Amino acid sequence: MTLFRMFATLAFSASVLSACGPQDPGSEVSQQGIRTGGYSEVNSNQAFGGVIAGETVTGLFYVAPGGKTATSPTGWWISTAASNQYAPVLSMTYNSQAVTSLSSTQGVLRVQPAAGLAQLLQGATLNFQMAVGEPLNATVRITSSQSTATYTKYVTEWAPANTNTWSSFCPHPYVDSNGPTNLPEFMIPVGGANWSLNGTRNDNTNAIQLSCTHDSIGGCIRWGYEPWGFVMNPDGTVSSQSLKFTHQACTRMKRGDICGNGDPTTTQNQSAYDHTTIQLWDRHDIHTEGAQTGATMEAHWGVNGAICFTESEFRSTSSLYVVRAHDQLQLCPKPACIKPMTVDGGAAALVSSSRICKLFDAQGNCVGN
C-alpha cells in the first residue's frame, strides 16, 4: 500500500547506540527460503520498539495542514499508541534539501526532494532528517539502510533538539553478564497501517508504522511474514493470497497474546538469562512444522489470538509466565490442540508454535519438548 502526502516526515529513536551498530535479534529469514522445517527463534514480548526521548513511538501519521484541529507545518505527526498526533514534524530534509512528500510501500521509504526526482530511501550512506516539535523536541535521522529481497531496514537515530547526542530509535533492552543495556536494532516501515495497544491492526492510508526488528510487528516481518507480501505456490510462483493476516496472527503468536487483547504471556525482554525460544510454522510452508506433532505443540494462532492452546506445552517453564498464561486462559478458555492445524484451527489458523523438540521417537516424530 502506498502512502503519499505533501510535506511528509519520519521518526526514529532510542537509547545508547552500540559501537557494533544495529543488529537483528536472530538470523535473517526470507520468504525465498521456504520449507526451512523447524525454524526456531529467540523471542520477547515487546509490542512497539521505537523510542524518542523516553516516549514509546508507533510511527508517523498525516493530517492535512489547516482546519480547526492542531496543525503540523508538514502535515506529519509523530504518533504513539495513545495519540496519532503526539508531536508535530516541523521540517524534513534529504541531503540538506527540503522534502515535500514521503511514502512507504512494501517496507521501503520513498522521498520527494523539493528539487529533483522522487527517490527510494536506500543506501549504505543516507542523510534523511526531520525536526520534531513539542513535547519531544528532537531531531530524527536515517543514516543507512540494508535491503533484503522483500523489505528495507534502516539505521535510525534521534537526538535532543540542537544537540549531537544520538541514540538508537530501536533500543532492545537486554541483560548479560555486564548488566542491562540497550542493543540498537533496525527500523522497518509499514505503510498504510498502525497498531493499537490491544494489538489490533488498523488499516489507514495516513499512517506509517515504524516497527523495529525485535518488536512484534517488525519481528514477524523478519521471520518471513511481510504484510504486503503474498503466499508462494509450490511451483515457486506468487499466488494472490495476501500475507497480511498471517503477519497479524504472527504478532499474536510472538507475544503469546492468547486472548488477542494485547496482554502478552511471553518473556518481557530477551536476555542471556531470561528469554523464550519458540519453534514456529505456518499453513503456507514458509516455515514447516518439522518433527512437531499435535501432541507437542503449544497453539494455533489467528488474527485475534490463540485458536487452541495446550497449557501443558506452554513455551516457558518460568513460574511467572506459567501463571500469566493460566490467568489468560481463565479469561478466554481455549480447547487443547491435539490435531493438525487445518483440523484444529480450520481456515482461521495461520501460524503455530511450540517449544523446541528435545525427544524423538524411532520415526523421527517429536515426543517431548
pLDDT digits (tens, 9 = 90+) for 307-328: 999 999 999 888 888 999 999 9
pLDDT at position 278 over 60? yes
pLDDT tens figures, 158-210: 999 999 999 999 998 887 778 888 888 999 999 999 999 999 999 999 999 99
SS3 content of the chain, % helix, strand, coil (to 5): 10, 40, 50
Cβ pair 229, 223 in contact under 8 A: no
Higher pLDDT, 261 or 341: 261
Range from 229-233, 313-317, 346-350 carrying the lowest mean pLDDT: 346-350
Q: In percent, how much of the chain has pLDDT > 70?
A: 84
- Element housing 195 (H / E): strand 187-195
Q: How far is CA 231 from CA 238, 282, 356, in A?
A: 6, 11, 26
Q: Locate 37 and state its grid cell.
A: 522445517
Cβ pair 196, 188 in contact under 8 A: no
Confidence of residue 234 (pLDDT cuts 50, 70, 90): confident
Confidence of residue 56 (pLDDT cuts 50, 70, 90): very high
Range from 126-135, 146-155, 168-177, 248-257 carrying the lowest mean pLDDT: 168-177
pLDDT at position 249 over 60? yes
